A and B are shown apart, each in its own frame.
Chain A
C-alpha cells in the first residue's frame, strides 16, 4: 500500500470512528443529521452527475453547470406562478402544478444547456483545453447576470407547495419533504442508469466518452451525443433546482456558485467522469457537510468540503471509483 493510500484510509477510519462514537452517544441527533445529509446529498448527486457526464465526454469542467441548476429553481418558481397554488397546504392544484412544472423545468433547462453547448463550447471543440474552460466561467457569470437582472440580488421566494406531513419516531423528525427529495433523486438516478446502459443513444454517449475517434468511425454523430449529454446533465440539474426550491423555498442568484462547487467536489470525490461515482460522491459529500454543520460548526463546512477536494486531488486523483479497468 502506498503512503497516500495509507493516509487516505487512516483519515477515513478516523472520521468513521468519530462518527460512530457520536452515533452511540446521541443516536437521535445522529439519525436526524444523517437524514438531512441524505437530502442534501441527493441534490448534490443530481448536480454532480451533470459535471461528471460532461467531463467524461469532452473533458470540460462545465463551470456554468451550477448556474443551470440555480436557473432551474428560478424558472420553476416563475412557472409555478401561473398556477393557482396554495402555499402552506397541499391541494389538488398543487399536485397538478407539481406534476406539470417539474418535468417542464427539466426540459427547459435541457434546452438551455444544449444552446449553451452550441454557442460556448462547440465552436471551441478543437481549441486548447483552456479556451472552453474560460468560456464556461464566462457562461457562469452570464447566467448569474441573467438571474440578477431578473430578480435582483436578494433571495427569491420559491412557492412552498409540498405537504407538511411529518412524523416523529423516537425523537427523530421525518418530513414528507425529506422523503420526497430522496425518492425523486433516486428515481432520476435509476432512470439515468437505465438510459446510459440500455439504450442505443446512452451506449453511444459512453462510446464517445471512451474514444471519440473510434465512435465517429462507427458512424456515431458525436455532435449529437455531446448535445445529448448536455441535455441530460441539465435535465438532472433542472430537477435538482426544482427540488432545492421545493425543499428550502428560497433561492438566490449566486446559489450555483457555492452549491456548484460542492457538487463539483462530489464529482471529483467519486472519480470525475465516473457516473456511479458522482451519485455516490454527492451522497457522501452531503452527509459530510451535514455532519460538519452539526458536529464542527457550519462556518467550517466549506473548509471541510474543499479540504476534501484538495485531499482527493493530492492523494487519490482518480477518486473513490476512478477508472481502474486496464486499457491495452
Chain B
C-alpha cells in the first residue's frame, strides 16, 4: 500500500474550487514531484495533506490511516512535515530555536540532539550561524534552515514547497543534491516545484497539475520526454 495517498480530493478557497478530483500516490522511499504553473493547485495539495485545509470530498490517507480531517499538529506527529513555500521561518527567533521548533512534537532528547547533528552535517552553514536571528539570513541559508527545520520533525514524508524559488543557480544545485541525500537516508520526499526540469530530474515519478486537475503523470524521465510537458513547462 502507498505511504501517502490522495483520492479524488476536491478543495475550495471560499467558493473557488482549487482542486478537482486530485488523486496522487507516494510510495515509501520515493521522490515524487508535483509540477505546474502558478495557481495550478500545488501548494493547495500540500496544505490539504498537512491538514491546514480539509477536502470537501475525497480522502487523504497516510501509512494506512485516514487523515482527511486530522488536525495539523497530529499529522506532524504521524510523520509528515512540510518546508513551506517562502520558507516561513520564525523570523525573530535564532537558527537554533527554529530547529528546536521543528522538533516540537518530539520528546526523545537524545534522538533530537542526534538529528540536530545530522542537520548541521547536511548544512554546515547553519551550524556556523546557529545563534543568528533567522530573519537576517540570506535567501539560500533561509531555505536550508526551512529544510533543516522540517527534518527535525523526523518525518517519514518530507514535503518541500518551491525549495529553489529565488535562489542563485549554484545554490539550486546544492539544494537538489541535498534533497537527493535526504531521500537516500530514507526519507520519502514530495516536491513541489516551478523549476520543472530540475524537479523531474531528481524525482522517481511526477504529476502535472493544471488549474486544480492532474493532467499527466509518469516517471520523471517519461515526463521530461513528454511533448506537452516540454512545451508547457520546460520552454522547449
Chain A residues packing against B (C-beta within 8 Å):
200, 203-204, 206-207, 210-211, 213-221, 323, 325-328
Contact = CB atoms under 8 A, between A and B. Distances in A.
Interface string B65-76: 000000111011
A216 B76 CA distance: 9
Given A217-B52, A328-B139, A203 B101 contact: yes
B133 interface: yes
Interface of B: 50-52, 71-73, 75-77, 81-82, 84, 88-93, 97, 100-102, 104-105, 133, 135-137, 139, 142, 149, 153
B73 A219 contact: yes
Contacts of B51: 216
B93 to A, nearest CB: 6
B135 A213 contact: no
Contacts of A221: 71, 73
Given A203-B93, A327-B91, A328-B135, 16 more contacts: A203-B100, A206-B93, A207-B90, A207-B93, A210-B90, A210-B92, A211-B89, A213-B84, A214-B84, A216-B51, A217-B82, A217-B84, A218-B81, A219-B105, A220-B73, A326-B135
A326 B100 CA distance: 21
B84 to A, nearest CB: 6
A218 B153 contact: yes
B136 A323 contact: no
A218 to B, nearest CB: 5
Given A207-B101, A326-B135, A216 B90 contact: no
A243 B225 CA distance: 74
A206 B88 contact: no
A279 to B, nearest CB: 17
Contacts of A323: 92
A241 B50 CA distance: 43
B149 A218 contact: yes
Given A217-B76, A220-B73, A326-B136, A211 B100 contact: no
Contacts of A203: 93, 97, 100-101
A169 to B, nearest CB: 43
A217 B142 contact: no
Q: Which of B52, B101, B153 counts the most A-chain CB atoms under 10 A from its CB?
A: B101
Contacts of B102: 218
A318 B212 CA distance: 41
A221 B75 CA distance: 11
6 A-B pairs with the lowest CB-CB distances in the bound complex, closest first: A219-B76, A219-B105, A214-B88, A216-B72, A221-B73, A327-B91
